[in-house]
A and B are shown apart, each in its own frame.
Chain A
Amino acid sequence: MESPIEDAAEARVAADPRYVELVRDRQRFSWTLTAVTVAAYTGFISLIAFDKPFMARPVAAGATTSIAVLLGIAVLLGTVLVCGVYVRRANGQYDARLAAILADARA
């Protein structure tokens, strides 16, 4: 299994500039979203750890709902959203580009 690339179709894909470009794009996109997710979550936990009074403040004068509740729900929603954004692009644009590369390599 640990052999280098010998198969002809595999070699054609590896040498295809569109493949190199696809991997670079997808990698950049996934690391960007990873950074966004980790930063948002770390920020949320840090607010809880360092500034509890801010988190306990109501969202508006006279309201009971606090900033902490709003941010917590935002983290839950944002997590689902960020997954949706990635799957949309990966299963759409990236998979279409990959299919074209693979079709040419097998032809």
Chain B
Amino acid sequence: MVAAAALLAAPAQAGIAGAVQRQPTNWTAILMFAGFVGLTLWITARAARRTRDVSDFYTGGGITGFQNGLAMAGDYCSAASFLGITSQIFNDGYDGLIYATGFLVGWPIVLFLIAEKLRNLGRFTFADVASFRFLQGPVRTFSAVSTLMVVTFYLIAQMVGAGQLIQLLFGLPYLYALVAVGGLMMVYVLFGGMRATSWVQIIKAVMLLSGATALVVGVMAQVGFSFEELFARAVAIKTGLAERAGLSPADAAAKGAAIMGPGGFIKDPVSALSFGFALMLGTAGLPHILMRFFTVPDAREARKSILWATVWIGWFYALTFVLGFGAIVLISLDPAYVGADGVLRGGGNMAVMHLAHAVGGNLFLGFVSAVAFATILAVVAGLTLSAASAVSHDIYASVIRRGRADPARELRVSRITTVVLGLAAVALGVVFERQNVAFMVSLAFALAASGNFPVLVMSLLWSGCTTRGAAWGGAVGLVTAFVLTILSPVVWVSVLGNAQAVFPYSSPAIFSVPAGFLAIWLLSLTDRSPRAALDRAGYPRQRLLSETGLAAGAAAAH
């Protein structure tokens, strides 16, 4: 995820989306990963016996706030951020921390503004909440389209990343990886629904956090557990490398010291703020994250979920920062890991993998590789489940059957959608293999920040919001974000090959988020239809239920 973002800002830097070399087949890694798969399939089989109705399928029958917090961390921390942030810090130093803070700082916004209201009003999808007092058809259609767009771009980035990672880590061909990821994800979601998905994410989060923590302890042991020592040695090594490259001692010292401060990632302030806001507000609009609020029984546990998610995700990003500097210190000078040209062996994202090998040998490398692959699986399963529920619950049950769908049929529709999505994900992975997909994760965040987030906030907090405002205003935000991204340098120049970008900034959020809010406000304000009067009249009760959870009793008992 972050590797994609890194590429967005620094196209010259090799990321997962860059060229990779297939490695020799790594049997330790494959065996450890097989162990993970065996465990998760066993859990899926158990979950399948208890997944009887749609409610089980969408919510998994309820977990605690602590478990949900871990699952959210498992849903959110992708392999690309594990590999991408550490490699970015390995190359350029400090800048990786800018992503880390951006990816974390959206969580309190979710907590303060939407979490408890979302839990109190909704049952299965965030569209339950966004459409609560509105005409179901238009608002649910908007939500489902927006969910499918966000999920599709996120999914393509994950699938292409998975294929390339497998070549790197396991030494297996690209297509094997796609089929393995697509197939396993289908099995988890199809048979185990949310219950299996939650546990895959929880196990993955525990593996990722413990693996990264062990690696950090290994690194810190080599520098006497002193961060000052770690940084000082990293600067000395970067200075030495710059001298070896022929720089004067003064220039080399400056280049070495530069890793301690912000560098080339942020060029103009508008891009910086825009990118920051896309990360922050996009988190609050990601459908697969919002869906996780319905797995806990009440608002109280929903709040706890976020606190725990923030703890684990914050811990994870702090670890990646230390690992990046650890990689500078421990692998930069070793020809086994870094070629004579100063480039990481095996591909630009291998820093943390080499570090694992340097600290704990082949066995630890195998473990960390298995963790990275498990990570992709968990993220992909969460994405698929949220897209499947958008199709079955929002489009099929609420729009097509107008809320009178037979639950057994609704469940069947979500399972069919899962299969279609699994096949589509593999196909898209093949289609985009040689494409630059680096922009797709930041696009997904920008879309979520500009469409879902304004619609949720306005429908929850503004009594004047109407059906027309929510559905069409949200669409304006969504389309603005999409079009501006296409016109921005990462797509217009890097992908489409034009000479000059029409839209000069790296992220559209600073324009498209206000565009979404403004459109909702304006379209609601000027809405004189009879429906608009009903929408506004429904606000007091919606507000009451969202603040008290009076209706959530029914939802929790479903």
Q: Which positions in A face B, CB cutoff 8 Å? A: 1-5, 9-10, 13-14, 19, 22-23, 26, 30-31, 33-34, 37-38, 41-42, 44-46, 48-50, 52-53, 55-58, 63-66, 68-69, 72-73, 75-77, 79-80, 82-84, 86-87, 90-91, 95, 98, 101-102
B108 and A33 within 8 A (CB): yes
B94 and A34 within 8 A (CB): no
Partner of B261, one of A50, A52, A84, A101: A52
Partner of A14, one of B261, B268, B544: B544
Q: Quick check: is B280 within 8 A (CB to CB) of the other chain?
A: yes
Tell me the minimal C-beta distance from B356 to chain A in angstroms: 23
We find that the number of chain B residues with CB closer than 8 angstroms to chain A is 58
Q: Quick check: is B307 within 8 A (CB to CB) of the other chain?
A: yes
Tell me the minimal C-beta distance from A64 to chain B in angstroms: 4
Residues of chain A within 8 A of B501, CB atoms compared: none
Q: Quick check: is B133 within 8 A (CB to CB) of the other chain?
A: yes
A86 and B133 within 8 A (CB): no
B100 and A33 within 8 A (CB): no
Known: A68-B97, A87-B306. 8 other contacts (CB 8 A): A2-B132, A14-B544, A34-B108, A37-B105, A64-B228, A75-B105, A76-B317, A87-B304
B97 and A49 within 8 A (CB): no
Query: A83 CA to B108 CA in the complex, in Å?
Result: 6
Tell me the minimal C-beta distance from B133 to chain A in angstroms: 5
B303 and A73 within 8 A (CB): no
Partner of A41, one of B111, B263, B280, B317: B280
Residues of chain A within 8 A of B224, CB atoms compared: none
Q: Quick check: is B540 within 8 A (CB to CB) of the other chain?
A: yes
Q: Quick check: is B179 within 8 A (CB to CB) of the other chain?
A: no
Partner of B94, one of A26, A68, A75, A76: A68
Residues of chain A within 8 A of B231, CB atoms compared: 64-65, 69
A13 and B94 within 8 A (CB): no
Tell me the minimal C-beta distance from B317 to chain A in angstroms: 6
Query: A55 CA to B544 CA in the complex, in Å?
Result: 46
A34 and B541 within 8 A (CB): no
Query: A102 CA to B292 CA in the complex, in Å?
Result: 26
Provided the pairs A1-B133, A65-B231, A76-B318 are in contact, do residues A48 and B266 lie with their beta carbons within 8 angstroms?
A: yes
**Listed A/B pairs (7) with beta-carbon separation below 8 Å:** A13-B550, A26-B547, A53-B261, A55-B261, A69-B260, A75-B105, A86-B108
Query: A101 CA to B544 CA in the complex, in Å?
Result: 12
Query: A102 CA to B548 CA in the complex, in Å?
Result: 8
Query: A64 CA to B132 CA in the complex, in Å?
Result: 54
Tell me the minimal C-beta distance from A41 to chain B in angstroms: 5
